């Protein structure tokens, strides 16, 4: 998918009250390179935000009745973003004030936050910001 397509999808589907659209776009780029069909062969991570079965289950347990996702829906870009952004809020809130740490190793969340700042300051050239964290 293109940056503009992802930007529109995130704008329409970001359910987070804690994470900006720019943060989510950077996370999606880092996780999937904007490929909604990507699947990790070593885990159940699937789709734009690489949602695992455990993460989808956690969202379903922590959201009100009527909000429900299936892991096999995670290649649907809109549902993946909805579920993924709900998951980000749940993970952050369960950490009770501790800076959220997620991803694959030390510095992962810092690189997403740095990308978010760069994306906000240079909105005319978004791919420049994104390529700094994932080529």
List, for residues 81-119, the tens digit of each pLDDT value. Answer: 999 999 999 988 765 544 444 555 566 778 888 888 888
Beta-carbon contacts of residue 111 (< 8 Å; ≥ 6 apart): 30, 133
Beta-carbon contacts of residue 52 (< 8 Å; ≥ 6 apart): 43, 44, 45, 46, 71
Which of 23-32, 90-99, 119-128 reaches the highest mean pLDDT? 23-32
Q: Point out the least confidently predicted range of 14-28, 30-44, 97-111.
A: 97-111
d(CA 91, CA 126): 27
- pLDDT for 55 beyond 90: yes
Q: Which domains does the chain have, with CATH numbers?
A: 3-131 (1.10.530.10)
Query: How confident is residue 129, by pLDDT bands cut at 50, 70 and 90?
Result: confident
Q: Distance of CA 124 to CAs 34, 121, 129, Å?
A: 19, 9, 10
Query: At 39, is the secondary structure helix, strand, or coil?
Result: strand
pTM (2 d.p.): 0.87
d(CA 42, CA 63): 28
Query: How confident is residue 134, by pLDDT bands cut at 50, 70 and 90?
Result: low
């Amino acid at each position: 998918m293109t940056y503009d397509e992802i930007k529109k999808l995130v704008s329409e589907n970001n359910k987070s009250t804690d994470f900006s659209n720019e943060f989510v776009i950077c996370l999606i780029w880092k996780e999937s390179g904007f490929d909604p069909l990507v699947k990790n062969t070593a885990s159940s991570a699937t789709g734009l935000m690489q949602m695992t079965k455990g993460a989808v289950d956690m969202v379903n347990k922590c959201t009100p009745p009527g909000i429900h996702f299936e892991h096999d829906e995670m290649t649907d870009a809109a549902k993946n973003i909805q579920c993924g952004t709900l998951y980000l809020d749940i993970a952050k809130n369960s950490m009770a004030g501790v800076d959220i740490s997620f991803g694959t190793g030390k510095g992962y969340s810092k690189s997403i936050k740095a990308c978010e700042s760069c994306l906000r300051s240079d909105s005319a050239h978004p791919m420049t910001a994104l390529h700094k964290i994932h080529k």
